Chains A and B, each alone.
Chain A
Amino acid sequence: MSTLTPPPPSLEPSRDATNREAVTCDHCGLPVPKGLIVADAEHQFCCSGCASVYRMIHGCDLGRYYDLRDQPNTGDQTPATAPSAHRYATFDDTAFLEAHSQPLQQGLRHADLRLAGVHCAACVWLIERLPRVCPGVIEARLSLRQTVARVVWDPTKVALSEVASALHRLGYPPHPAGDSDARTTRLDGERKMLIRVGIAGACAGNAMLLAVALYMGLIDGMAAEFEAFLRWVSMGIGVVALCGPGALFFRGAWAGLRTRRVTLDLPIALALGVGGLAGTFNVVAGRGEVYFDSLCVLVFLLLVGRYLQMRQQRRTTDAVTLMQSLTPVGCAVWRGGAWVEVSLEAIKPGDRVRVPSNERLPIDGVVVAGQSSLDTASLTGESRPTPVRAGDAVFAGSQNVGAALEIDVHAVGPETRLARLMEDAAAGVAAKPEIVRFADRIAGVCTVCVVGLAGVVFGGWWIAAGLEPAVNHAVALLIVACPCALGLATPLTLALGIGVAARRDILVKDAAVFEKLAAVDADRPGVLALDKTGTITRGQLRVVAWVGDEDAQLQADVGLAERDARHPAGQALRRAYGSSSRGSPTDPAHERPAFTRVVEDPRGGLTAERGDTTLHLGNARFLITQRVAIGTAWHDTAERYAQRGASLVWVAVNRKVVALVALEDAMRDDSAAAVAELSRGGWSPAILSGDLDAAVHAVADELQLDADQVHPQLAPEDKPQLVQRYRDAGRPVLMVGDGVNDAAALAAADVGLAVHGGAEAAMAVADAYTARPGLSPITELVALSRYTVRLIRQNLWVSLGYNASAVGLAAAGLLTPWIAAILLPISSLTVLSLAVSRLSRWKGGRPCR
């Protein structure tokens, strides 16, 4: 994000990051802007937010956090936010406490808070030390997977708002975890499945023990009464396994039959059902084989597979949670002649609210007073802030980067444009069709083959040797032909694939991603739909050229004037030329005297005065209002940069233009290579951007994209429609994005992938997201998908080989139960060890193979 570019010496912009010795922030690990480096200081910080978090952590004697965390950030991490930016007063409303917290014994209460910015073990450590930071908190427990902390506190000693601000100061802005119902349902499902696995495992172990005794009896001889006893006990265990945990497969097969769908449950239920009936009959009749040991093992192994599969499925998301992560929890409202801070729920259309600088808008409305700029990058994808004034319509979720605004509320909560967008996204996730899994696809063929073979064997043996051997051999065949390896090896291989991806900083939330990505190659092309701002580019303006007077003192003045800039262009100038008040003595900026007056104009400019020197910085429109003429000599240069989509800042001293600074949202270093690589692999690239024409086409040219695949100035609502158009044309879509404006498109695509540094909402609806900046993780994910799916197919052939040989033995009447009991687990074991050894050796690869 804040890689530093020094002003290039020539007119040609330099794209390379600086070679200057990098000083990184002691808190967030980002490079420290040149101007903020304090020469003799022990610690360096990239912003005041990081400095205050660092001091707070050390002030509470929690410095060990810095030893525990994995490693400092390598790239586009967000620095800590300034603690003053948020207010949590509304957390103390009775209605809020009723809705989001529960009472415990002794007057304590507990609340679940979803925290932003949680990623590693050090976060667990820091957050769980909350009682020390905030006295009155009894306990804080964090769940890494859900990033939800359960906080127990004593309301008589501390208010929830104070707990919330303490968390915020630590760098983890909290939001109420409102989706407790959905989380409970999901947790219940997982617990039930785990209990099934446990019961089936216990049954399988005990049934195997009894089976060993019975087989020993076959060899050494055993008294008939003992044998009968063992067979009855074995049947008891088998019935528990089949009717308890195994009932899942019967229900699944029945549900499939009723909707005329063949799933993998059908051949499994067939084997279990026939085996169970035949075994029971044989035990009661006192002769023939009992199959319960094999059946119990089958149930256990298959349930392990189901459990893995269940954990791989994506979490559902609801629009409300997505909304919460994007809007503040409260706002100042004009009530009875004064501004009153109220919670979001209390704001009604028709109210007048005041949004101070640097806050996000919580509502849709129309500006009635004030002039400012709004950063709508995450909402619309526009890389430059848009100026707003009285009469302009504004939308929830955009950030006020200029002066305070007074806004008449038109829509709140679910009525806002942002909420509707989030609803689209949540609906898209819910409507995402489950792919017909590879295993289920061949289940039909499998069932037909097995039933057919069993019929042939039954008929053959009936004619040749009578009814009893015919039944026995057909039953044995049905059991050994049960596609156990399919039911276990596939989910296990996918689980291992997810693990390999995670080690490469790609978090796959839905295993179906592998099968979907592997389905595209040069012969069956797909569409790689890319967002521009923040995805292909870094999503932050950087100085690419300083044209004109290259006086170091002038540049230092520019940095000094922009010291408190809130406008992204001003911040870019500060990062490039800025100096702090504690600046080093060797820095030319240090000797620059401070300006006596600095006025930031919301129309996009700034006036700084010192003695008889007046410095104007701003866009052309601003300069004209300040009666600064831009000479015609500048025309060509300005035109050239404007055509590439750069933002221009003019520098004028005493009403005379002396320099022109070009700012661009530069492309990430690996974007071009990754896009080229993927397009060789069958993914034809397209850009879906909300940004302006020139900026989008500049990037498209650099990536050498066809003009008809470039879609600039898309409203967030248009993106999912465009994705749908590609899908309707029969091409699978891999959507890559980072912003809120991409969320609905991510949900609508076959595979939605959120990139590092993206909005929480985008990550929540995506099927996978990368925890490493850049686009190169995508090529790795595509390569890994192909590898994993190939491995699944190979394993399938191996297990089919086992099944075929067992079926052959059974058909010939040579398959004794103990051979079946050995073959079954060995076939599963083989595919498992194959999967583990192959995937752990995966060293990456190219997606275009």
Chain B
Amino acid sequence: MSVIYLMIPLAVVLAGAALWGFVWSVKKGQLDDLDTPPKRMLFDDED
């Protein structure tokens, strides 16, 4: 069971990485406008 001394810190590091990704995307402004992109994706890319 002493593997948890490795696994838990590893899990925390992974969670931290995911969280860092989230913070990065917010700071880049990817979540600023939640109204327009859902409509934009409905348009065909005809050009």
Contact = CB atoms under 8 A, between A and B. Distances in A.
A and B pair up? yes
Contact of A229 (B5, B15, B31, B35): B5
A132 B32 contact: no
Contact of A145 (B8, B15, B36, B40): B36
Interface in A82-121: 121
Interface string B10-22: 0110010011001
B36 to A, nearest CB: 5
A146 B34 CA distance: 11
A206 B12 contact: yes
Nearest to A223: B1
A653 to B, nearest CB: 56
A91 B39 CA distance: 30
A202 B23 CA distance: 12
Interface in A170-229: 187, 190-191, 194-195, 198-199, 202, 205-206, 223, 226, 229
Contact of A195 (B1, B15, B26): B26
B17 to A, nearest CB: 11
Contact of B40 (A128, A191, A195, A230): A128
Nearest to A311: B34
A470 interface: no
Given A68-B43, A202-B18, A124 B26 contact: no
Contacts of B43: 68, 124-125
Contact of B32 (A128, A191, A198, A223): A191
Contacts of B8: 229-230, 233
B32 to A, nearest CB: 6
A10 interface: no
Contact of A233 (B12, B18, B27, B29): B12
A256 B4 CA distance: 44
A199 B19 contact: yes
A202 B15 contact: yes
A145 B47 contact: no
A144 B33 contact: yes
Nearest to B28: A191
Nearest to B9: A233
Given A124-B40, A191-B27, A198 B4 contact: no
Q: Classify the secondary structure of A's interface with B.
A: helix
A721 interface: no
Contacts of B22: 195, 198, 202
B20 to A, nearest CB: 10
A144 B39 contact: yes
A379 to B, nearest CB: 32
A301 to B, nearest CB: 18
A807 to B, nearest CB: 33
Contacts of A230: 8
A198 B19 contact: yes
From B1, B12, B35, B39, residue with most partner A Cβ within 10 Å: B39
A160 interface: no
Given A144-B35, A145-B33, A202 B19 contact: yes
Given A198-B19, A206-B12, A223-B1, A190 B39 contact: no
A145 B35 contact: yes
Contacts of A226: 1, 4
A144 B38 CA distance: 11
Contacts of B47: 132
Contacts of A125: 40, 43
B42 A121 contact: yes
A601 B27 CA distance: 61
A143 interface: yes
Contacts of B4: 226, 229
B21 to A, nearest CB: 10
B1 A124 contact: no
Nearest to B43: A125
From B18, B23, B29, B33, residue with most partner A Cβ within 10 Å: B33
A238 to B, nearest CB: 13
Given A206-B15, A226-B1, A143 B27 contact: no
Nearest to A123: B39
A194 B22 CA distance: 10
A229 B7 CA distance: 12
Contacts of B40: 124-125, 128
A185 B26 CA distance: 15
Given A128-B40, A202-B15, A206-B15, A190 B23 contact: no
Interface string A35-77: 0000000000000000000000000000000001000000000
A226 B6 CA distance: 12
A142 interface: yes
A198 B26 contact: yes
A199 B36 CA distance: 26
Nearest to A193: B26
Contacts of B15: 202, 205-206
A141 B36 CA distance: 9
Contacts of B23: 195, 198-199
A14 B19 CA distance: 67
Contacts of A206: 11-12, 15
B38 to A, nearest CB: 9
B36 A143 contact: yes
From B18, B32, B42, residue with most partner A Cβ within 10 Å: B32
Interface of A: 68, 121, 124-125, 128, 132, 141-146, 187, 190-191, 194-195, 198-199, 202, 205-206, 223, 226, 229-230, 233, 237
8 tightest A-B contacts by CB? A121-B39, A144-B35, A144-B36, A198-B22, A143-B33, A202-B19, A145-B35, A191-B26
21 contacts: A124-B39, A124-B43, A132-B47, A141-B36, A142-B36, A191-B26, A191-B31, A191-B32, A195-B23, A195-B26, A198-B22, A198-B26, A202-B15, A202-B22, A205-B15, A206-B12, A206-B15, A223-B1, A229-B4, A229-B8, A233-B8
Given A128-B40, A202-B19, 7 more contacts: A121-B39, A124-B40, A143-B32, A143-B33, A143-B36, A145-B36, A202-B22
